[in-house]
Structure 1
């Protein structure tokens, strides 16, 4: 067994830690704190829209936004992306110094600022290649009481969080160039 992504590409889990030998999800209590946080957070963000699309189209045109396919960063300060904008994040991370934000709460904000300032991967940028094996063949997650989860784990509503934490009216470096 090796490292796997669950639901969205990006966050990687140790397959042996998450699944039993029978292929069933282990109870949350048996998982490490980091794995628990990420799996619980995945339940909140799996149906989200792409941050890049949202930064382009905003609340005025949510129908133009692609669904999430990948997640990078730390829970609650993560960047959620479609396949097209995932390449932008990979480019930013590898080529534009985004790697200095590893494990930092500023990860999402730094990427958003770069993206809003026109940052994009070159068209011929190859990024990374993903290997997908039976992405639809996952066991059902264990039932989790929503109220208990919210009390124990930090959760957010992505839409509300964006409106409250992302000030699109502020001046960004190079914005008047």
Structure 2
């Protein structure tokens, strides 16, 4: 069974769990839970900036940050990186104790703290050599609207809702109102994490 990266390098998926024989994405309800959560999370992460670039430039200049190309860690505690900063992450992980934080709720925060303290990989530190075998042949993950449409196409009388941040799928009863936004001002810029 071949392993493939989808959308971002790093997380690897068993092809047979994710794709049909025709090379299309399987229906979400036929994909194992952990794989489904990662796929849903990928749709949220794909347009995000590299964490290290973001830390360098800050919120006010985040447009200067490179887009994420690589994801390491577990969903909700992942680190997003561009190829320029991958060596910094790998150095932290291999040589500076990052491996001990793997799988913990502080994984991302510990890398961020290390990076913000001015730590970097030494000049010439080797990263990983990624092998891209026909990356153009793999379909890109569906966008959130398409994911939602696919999830609900076979359910009459009930709808399912996907939380793109957590990957959780919940059922919405017919006639149930959308969650209230309370006093949220949709025109205002709110701080982001």
In the superposition, the TM-score normalised over structure 2's length comes to 0.75
Native 8 Å contact 2:101 2:107 kept in 1:
yes
**What is the number of residues matched between the two proteins?**
159
Q: 162, 171, 175: which one pairs with 1:149?
A: 162
CA distance in 2, matches of 1:26, 1:160: 36
Against the structure 1 CA distance between its residues 65 and 23, is the aligned structure 2 distance closer, same or farther, given a 3 Å change threshold?
Answer: same
String of CA shifts for 1:139-168, please: whole Å, max 9, x gaps. 35452228711298359xxx9551xxxxxx
What are the within-5 Å matches in structure 2 for residues 161-176 of structure 1? 161-162=192-193
RMSD of aligned C-alpha atoms?
2.2
Structure 1 portions without partners, runs of 5+? 163-177
What is the match of residue 138 of structure 1?
138
Tell me by how many angstroms 1:9 deviates.
Answer: 0.6
1:5–1:12 Cα contact (<8 Å) kept: yes
Match of 2:23 in 1: 23
Shift of 1:12: 0.9
Larger radius of gyration: 2
Residues 115 and 98 (structure 1), Cα distance of their counterparts in 2 relative to 1, 3 Å cut: same
Alignment partners' CA distance in 2, 1:93 and 1:30? 34
Counterpart in the other structure of 2:181: none
- Determine the structure 2 residue equivalent to 1:78: 78
TM-score after normalising by structure 1: 0.82
In the alignment, what sits opposite 1:118?
118
**Structure 2: gaps (5+ residues):** 150-159, 170-189
SS at match of 2:11: strand
- Counting strand residues as a fraction of each chain, which structure ranks higher? 2
